[in-house]
Amino acid sequence: MAGDRLRRFDFDADAYVRRVESGRCFVCGIVDGDPNFPAHVIQRDEQHIAFLTRFPVLRGYLLVAPVAHREGVVDDFTLDEYLGLQTLVYRLGRAVSSVVPTERLYLLSLGSRQGNSHVHWHVAPLPPGVPYDAQQFAALMVERAGFLDLPGDEQARLARQIGESIG
């Protein structure tokens, strides 16, 4: 992908599916500080947590979630709670776009009650120069592109820079 100079690793989608269908909720693991769920946390308060994704397909790709385990994207929130979460998504989108060159910012909620059930929002900055056929869903599909080999110190630096840029 344009802008990538780092090595990419293949993604074992079958192992991933087995893990999310039968293992512990990864967001709850991160919230609890479980060492089996390492994360570069960008921001955390009593209601929300934001962290860089463990399998980044794009530099600066982050997730935003409520601290409490919630599964209904809108049904499990009051209007004020939902607007609070979306306000943080907005602020993090602005922050990551100020830190990482971004042509388009993708925002989406994925998961299901069968796997990755904890509500979370993906905030994914598409870098400039990516050919159109490698944008949109193609840019987010780790199964297609693999994930970036971003060293832990670079991820920690990115998390810190994004956190410092939250307005």
Question: Does residue 140 or residue 91 have the better pLDDT?
Answer: 91
CA-to-CA dists, residue 62 to 14, 22, 50, 133, angstroms? 22, 23, 7, 23
pLDDT above 80 (res 115): no
Domain span at 102: 11-140+156-165
Please give the pLDDT value at position 95: 98
Instruction: Flag whether 3 is in a domain.
Output: no
Place of tokens 């905030």: 123
**Residue 105: strand pairing partners:** 125
Sign (positive/negative) of CA torsion 158, 84, 86, 66? positive
The stretch 132-138 carries a mean pLDDT of: 91
Q: What's the rounded Cα separation, in Å, for the pair 32 and 7?
A: 31
Query: Cα–Cα distance between 106 and 44 in angstroms, integer?
Result: 21
Look at residue 151 and tell me if it is in a domain: no
Asked if the structure places residue 150 within a domain, the reply is no
The total of other beta-carbon atoms located within 10 Å of residue 137's CB is: 9
**Cβ neighbourhood burial of 73 (10 Å; 0-12, 13-18, 19+):** middle
Residue 2, pLDDT above cutoff 50: no
39-71: per-residue pLDDT in tens? 999 999 999 999 999 889 999 999 999 999 999
Question: CA-CA distance, 69 to 99, in Å (whole number)?
Answer: 29
Q: In the predicted model, what is the mean pLDDT of residues 17-40?
A: 85
pLDDT at 1 over 60: no
Give the residue from 150, 167, 166, 157 showing the smallest Cα distance to 43. Answer: 166
Decide if 35 is inside a domain.
yes
Structural domains of the chain, count: 1
pLDDT tens digit sequence for 13-26: 666 666 766 678 99
CATH of the domain at 82: 3.30.428.10
- Specify the range with the lowest mean pLDDT, choosing from 1-15, 43-57, 100-114, 137-151: 1-15
